[in-house]
Amino acid sequence: MNLRQSLLRPPAKALLFTLALLPFAWLVYAVATNNLGANPQEYLIRSTGDWTLRFLCLTLAVTPLRVITSTPALARFRRMLGLFVYFYVVLHLLSYSWFDMGFDVADIAKDIAKRPFILVGFSAFVLLTPLAATSFNRAVKAMGAKRWQALHKLVYGVAGLAILHFFWMRAGKHNFAEVAVYAAILASLLGWRAWQWAVRKRAARTASGRPAFRARG
């Protein structure tokens, strides 16, 4: 059995689900064994944020990998990865709300309004919520494929907000090395999509008999 056939089998999704839960399992274990370092609260907040970004990169990488490697079976993992983005961002938000704000809703609202990087991060969470809520076959059927696809393009905005949130968070310590890595990855993934869109648009114009570009007078 080759790799492409293996990706179509039910155990492939179970394996991905298990692997995606490993970071959470490690955090639970680290909490139980008091193995979170000198500042456990900060470690949990940052770790859950880092894993949100990592799963966002993985989710956006599915389509380019599917096209470049001619492996359509990869598409079946995209929704699961997207839901894990939401899972880890919820953990990130809960960690911040608990350890930084003590679940004080009024203080959280004031902090969101006062600090731009918190506002940007919360905005990314808000945009992700309808995507997670509609990541099911029934939602696709109820909305129709075109409207569902249009809604899920919000993930591109989420990617921009996530990088901005990460940048502002690290700006206080002038530590931008990790920010640059994630920004480069997401820029490459989004740039590939923009290039594919341009290629498809040019092909459509050519097929319809119109020039790809209008000459300017």
Q: Is residue 200 part of a domain?
A: no
pLDDT tens digit string along 165-190?
Answer: 999 988 877 889 999 999 999 999 99
198 Cα distance to chain centroid: 23
Q: Is residue 210 part of a domain?
A: no
Q: Is residue 95 part of a domain?
A: yes
Q: Is residue 217 part of a domain?
A: no
Across residues 90-105, what is the average pLDDT?
Answer: 95
Across residues 141-164, what is the average pLDDT?
Answer: 95
Q: Is residue 202 part of a domain?
A: no
Q: Which residues are within 8 A (CB) of 83 and not within 5 positions of it... i.e. 6 or more apart?
A: 132, 135
Return the DSSP state at 142.
H
Residue numbers of the domain that contains 71: 3-195
Number of domains within the chain: 1
Distance (Å, whole) CA 120 – CA 107: 17
Q: Is residue 112 part of a domain?
A: yes
Q: Mean pLDDT over all residues of the chain?
A: 91
Q: Is residue 209 part of a domain?
A: no
Predicted local distance difference test score (pLDDT) of residue 7: 81
pLDDT tens digit string along 13-40?
Answer: 999 999 999 999 999 999 999 998 889 9
61-83: buried (b, 16+ CB within 10 Å) or exposed (e) per residue?
bbbbebeeeeeeebeebbbbbbb
Distance (Å, whole) CA 39 – CA 30: 12
Predicted local distance difference test score (pLDDT) of residue 212: 52
Predicted local distance difference test score (pLDDT) of residue 216: 47
pLDDT exceeding 70 applies to what percent of the chain? 94
- Are 53 and 92 in contact by the 8 Å Cβ rule? The answer is no
Across residues 132-150, what is the average pLDDT?
Answer: 93
104 three-state secondary structure: coil
Grade residue 49 by pLDDT with cuts at 50, 70 and 90. Answer: very high
Model-level pTM? 0.91
Find where tokens 């293996």 sit: 6
Q: Is residue 21 part of a domain?
A: yes
